[in-house]
A = this chain, B = another copy of it.
Amino acid sequence: MAKINKLCVIGVGLIGGSLAIALRNAGYCAEVIGAGRNAERLQVAKDLGVVDSFSTDIAEAVADADMVFVAVPMGAMAAIFQQIDNHLKPGAIITDGGSAKSSVMKDAKLHLKRSYSQFVAGHPIAGTEQSGVEAAFGELFQNRRVIITPTYDTNKRAAEKVADMWKAAGAEVETMSALHHDDVLAGTSHLPHLLAYGLVNCLFESNNSESFFKYAAGGFRDFTRIASSDPVMWRDICLSNKESLLDILSLYQTELDMLKEAIAKDDADQLLSYFDSAKTSRDKFKF
């Protein structure tokens, strides 16, 4: 018997669509309704078999769902919470997939007046530089980590159900504070995206842009792959995780200043020990 009778996915893109597929494949979910603003895009999701039905009326879409997954850019979270709060069925659980958690929890606290204790903030650490439901696939979360950040106010059973759902989708689930999550993600994900976007613009707005294009090789390709990520999503992530991101960005700028000085001074020893220690750290990763 399916553990979720009706799942409502608000924002049926790469993440929302992949969760729907994974849960359906696992027999964990009987029915999926998609919700969003764009009927054409939702029709694509239906045609692909990702959702059973859809609605552009979000209040209507959540009405008899027992689990609501909000997978929209973070700037849209507050408005979604506002629209659904009075229309959720009693006991319905709400969770999200946003890449920063403190801001989503603030939005939820402010706008989910009736159902705040049923809200469990979550973040699947998975994705590709693609977006849209066409890019969704059921294995996206296999062996990937999902972080949930319940608080003292969160209904324990709701948190367990959200964890259970992600496990059914193939993920490992871990619990931590929203603040810790935001610091960690600022370093491992948000800063690298900023750096990649910055490098692409730095090179392609320059006088040498044509040559840069022509002679870019594998290192550049891998380094900047993430600069193809969705701009709206990343704008919202930067604004939603502002403090943590500015902190780590300042630390990073200090590293660059140090490197610049070492190069300017021809400090061979300093450069070698710097690169050595980075290589040692990086080699420990066995992805």
Contact = CB atoms under 8 A, between A and B. Distances in A.
Interface residues of A, number: 88
Contacts of A272: 231-232, 235
A256 interface: yes
A188 B111 CA distance: 46
Contacts of A263: 238-239, 242, 245-246, 249
B223 A223 contact: yes
Contacts of A48: none
Contacts of A208: 183-184, 187
Contact of A219 (B189, B230, B246): B189
B192 A228 contact: no
A152 interface: no
Contacts of A277: 201
Interface stretch (A21-29, A60-68, A159-167, A209-217): A209-217
Contact of A211 (B128, B180, B219, B220): B180
Nearest to A244: B208
A192 B219 contact: yes
Interface stretch (A12-20, A33-41, A87-95, A279-287): A279-287
Contacts of A202: 187, 248, 251-252, 255
Contacts of A276: 231
Nearest to A269: B235
Nearest to A250: B260
Nearest to A275: B231
A162 B287 CA distance: 39
A203 interface: yes
A208 B195 CA distance: 20
A268 B201 contact: no
A199 interface: yes
A4 interface: no
A227 B259 CA distance: 14
30 contacts: A126-B217, A184-B212, A185-B215, A187-B202, A188-B215, A188-B216, A188-B220, A189-B217, A189-B219, A189-B220, A192-B223, A192-B224, A198-B252, A198-B255, A198-B256, A198-B259, A200-B281, A222-B226, A223-B223, A228-B283, A229-B275, A229-B279, A231-B272, A231-B279, A232-B272, A238-B263, A239-B266, A246-B260, A249-B259, A253-B260
Given A200-B278, A201-B274, A238-B262, 10 more contacts: A184-B208, A187-B203, A188-B216, A192-B220, A195-B199, A198-B256, A204-B281, A206-B248, A222-B223, A253-B253
